[in-house]
């Protein structure tokens, strides 16, 4: 009995597939998370310590007692750009809410500085290494992705896609009524 030629084509493609090459040390690397993830951290109660674009260290645990908005975004993401002015205003208006933006893209500092001239961001943000995202957060399947952290440090809600500050207010207000 003769086997179908498709079987041989399929076998050829399987044999051609292999493990992706490891990055070399000559390739440029984006800033990485500066501190190791504590053993007691998890995706439900994430830890994050990262150097911001502004040159400061942002540590999520230092903001316990406040709501924290962790926003994964990129300069090329149109819905992300629409969120920035709303997030800027909300960050200024709410002393009980802290924002941290996590630029999930490969971008040079000079290119980010040019972007900021057109789209100012008034809250801290960092450029992530897309090959080494923060371990305690889901790897974004799309952008924007926003994680709202409650004052106790636990994830209150994860949003995939655009989000409004009215959605934050609704969650914050409903939790305070409990």
First-to-last alpha carbon distance for the chain, in angstroms, is 72
What's the CATH fold of domain 26-176? Glutaredoxin (3.40.30)
Q: What is the pLDDT confidence band of residue 60, given thresholds at 50, 70 and 90?
A: very high
- pLDDT at residue 71 in the model: 98
- CA-wise closest residue to 69 among 174, 141, 140, 159: 159
pLDDT tens digits, residue range 133-165?
999 999 999 999 999 999 999 999 999 999 999
* pLDDT over 80 (residue 63): yes
Q: How far apart (Å, rounded) are the C-alpha atoms in residues 151 and 27? A: 39
Q: What is the pLDDT confidence band of residue 41, given thresholds at 50, 70 and 90?
A: low
């Amino acid at each position: 009995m003769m086997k179908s030629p498709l079987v041989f084509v399929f076998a050829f493609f399987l044999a051609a597939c292999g493990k992706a090459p490891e990055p070399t040390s000559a390739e440029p690397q984006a800033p990485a998370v500066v501190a190791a993830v504590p053993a007691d951290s998890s995706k439900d109660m994430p830890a994050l310590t990262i150097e911001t674009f502004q040159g400061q260290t942002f540590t999520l645990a230092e903001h316990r007692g406040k709501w924290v908005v962790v926003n994964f975004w990129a300069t090329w993401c149109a819905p992300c750009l629409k969120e920035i002015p709303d997030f800027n205003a909300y960050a200024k208006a709410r002393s009980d809410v802290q924002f941290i933006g996590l630029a999930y893209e490969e971008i040079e500092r000079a290119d980010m500085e040019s972007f900021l001239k057109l789209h100012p961001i008034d809250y801290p943000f960092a450029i992530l290494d897309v090959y080494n995202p923060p371990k305690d957060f889901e790897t974004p399947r799309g952008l924007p992705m926003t994680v709202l952290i409650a004052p106790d440090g636990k994830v209150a809600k994860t949003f995939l896609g655009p989000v409004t500050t009215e959605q934050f207010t609704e969650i914050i207000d409903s939790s305070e009524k409990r």
